[in-house]
Amino acid sequence: MCTGACSKFIAIPLYILALVSIICNIILFFPDFKTEYASEDKEGDARITQEVKYMGGVVGGGIMVLIPAIHIHLTSAKNCCSNRCGMFLSIGFAAVGVVGAIYSLSAAALGLANGPVCYWSNPDNPIPQWGTPFANSSGDYLNDKDVWGWCILPEKVVEFNVGLFSTLLVAASLQAILCTFQMVNGLFGCICGTCTGNE
């Protein structure tokens, strides 16, 4: 396959994945699809999961992948990039995308491991309070749905966080793979030359 056409094949999914990452991160600021938790959130009295504030989906999986996706797409104009310089630059841009994807993946993994901030209580802690009840579970709570009921507010916040952070995790993993593949593709295009419209 032409290295330019391959770049286009890589860029289009990166656009979609970047958009998904941004949307998921923004939605995570509104548990139970309500704005009150975001407006009540303040330092020392959290209402929003800490890992959401790292903006992994917006900055890492979003902006840091979207910019390389645009450049990678430009190298595929008319399915061919007529100069080696464009492919060489795409290696650097793709590397930025890999870093962004790793940042997004790390934030999502931490969010899954620590669990959500919620108003919770359990038999050992009968007085409800705001906090992160699963922070010391090393993610074990994910396999025990019985404890998800500890979170009283926001409603179904565990399912909400698990679904969106898992989506971010998958999106970031795919972004890292695609950007790494583009680094290899760019190297081939730079060393061996890119195809021409007649090839």
Let me know: does 84 contact 187? Beta carbons within 8 Å.
no
**pLDDT confidence band for 137 (50 / 70 / 90):** confident
| pLDDT, tens digit (0-9, with 9 covering 90-100), for 144-169 | 888 999 999 999 999 999 999 999 99
Domain assignment present for 199: no
Q: What's the domain range around 106?
A: 3-192
Domain assignment present for 198: no
| pLDDT, tens digit (0-9, with 9 covering 90-100), for 4-13 | 566 678 889 9
pTM of the model: 0.86
Let me know: does 97 contact 62? Beta carbons within 8 Å.
no
Average pLDDT of span 109-124: 92
Domain assignment present for 71: yes
Specify the pLDDT at position 142.
92
Specify the pLDDT at position 196.
43
Specify the pLDDT at position 81.
47
Q: Residues 23, 47, 135, CA angle at the centre, nearest 5°?
A: 90
Which of 104, 74, 98, 114 minimizes the C-alpha distance to 180?
98
Report d(CA 164, CA 131) in Å as an integer.
20
Report d(CA 175, CA 14) in Å as an integer.
6
Average pLDDT of span 49-58: 94
Domains in the chain, number: 1
Report d(CA 32, CA 34) in Å as an integer.
5
Domain assignment present for 197: no
**pLDDT confidence band for 2 (50 / 70 / 90):** low
